[in-house]
Amino acid sequence: MPVPYIAAWSGEITTDADLACTDLVIRTNLVTGGKQVRYTDERPEDRDTNGVLWHRVPDNLGRGEPHFAKIHTGRQRRAMDFGLCQVCAGPAQVWMTTESMWQEYRAVFGPAAVSYPTFDPPVCLPCAEAARAYCPAIGRGHLYLATRAWATTLIRAHELDPVGERLSEVRTLRLAPPGAAGPDPDLLIARALGASLIGPVVHRDPTAVPGLGRRVQIAAPSPTAATPGAPRRPRTSGDVPPGSA
């Protein structure tokens, strides 16, 4: 059985308790006056272009036993961001979803919905065939989606309560263009990257899908979105480990 590239291995699995590690602190942003979650030894790659901090996990691919139900944050983010196959990490060719998830989405948003949200990176055609054979959820019914375009518009993240200085459970948040109101990226620790598939058309035959679609930037504001922008590197002070207050 092939082990998906984005699957976590026992040698790299972390828990929510790891978020309370001493490397993670809360500081006061001296530019905005607000709170900011940071690593004490933060590196440029720890934040994305929206200024959101990403949860650090060990990258020990192949060490220990594979955990198919757990996703490696770094590899999932890379596969989604670069349009790589979630199974082999090669160039992806098609978006794939379970039939039950598609039907659930259509039941909520109706046939006029213009985009389909997903946290599942795409696949190449050979790995799509393998998924049919080895993945129980896919085996119970699956669809291939042809899209006009796609954009990375979603994250799953912990959000810091700036008053109680406690981290929330993982929430799904929608990103938005600069200037849109929404959660402060300084208060987020991301776990997964999601995409909006624009103008999805369902196919049963993956060879009928002409590719992933055109990659686009976020185009419309959302009142529930984190505000993108260049990563901020202000002077900070007042180190407090999260959850210690």
- Report the DSSP beta bridge partners of residue 54: 190
Question: How confident is the model over 68-100, as pLDDT tens digits?
Answer: 999 999 999 999 999 999 999 999 999 999 999
Q: How many domains does the chain have?
A: 1
| % pLDDT > 70, the chain | 83
Residue 211 in any domain: the answer is: yes
Residue 1 in any domain: the answer is: no
Q: What's the predicted TM-score (pTM) here? A: 0.84
| HEC-encoded secondary structure of the chain | CCCCCCEEECCCCCCHHHHHCCCEEEEEECCCCCEEEEECCCCHHHECCCCCEECCCCCCCCCCCEEEEEECHHHHHHHHHHCECCCCCCECCEEEEEHHHHHHHHHHHCCCCCEEEECCCCECHHHHHHHHHHCHHHHCCEEEEECCEEEEEEEEEEEEECCCCEECCCEEEEECCCCCCCCCHHHEEEEEEEEEEECCEEECCHHHCCCCCEECCCCCCCCCEECCCCCCCCCEEEEECCCCC
166 or 123: whose pLDDT is higher?
A: 123
By the 8 A CB rule, do 187 and 232 touch?
no
Tokens of 122: 């795409």
- Asked whether the CA dihedral 178, 49, 38, 14 is positive or negative, the reply is positive
Domain that holds residue 236: 7-240
Residue 245 in any domain: the answer is: no
Q: Give residue 22's pLDDT.
A: 55
126 or 31: whose pLDDT is higher?
A: 126
- Please name the amino acid found at residue 2: P
Residue 2 in any domain: the answer is: no
Residue 122 in any domain: the answer is: yes
- Report the DSSP beta bridge partners of residue 144: 96, 203
Residue 214, phi then psi, degrees to nearest 5: -80, 130
Q: Give residue 51's pLDDT.
A: 87
> Which residue bears the tokens 């993670």?
24
Q: What is the largest CA-CA distance in the chain?
A: 57
Residue 119 in any domain: the answer is: yes
Residue 135, phi then psi, degrees to nearest 5: -95, 115
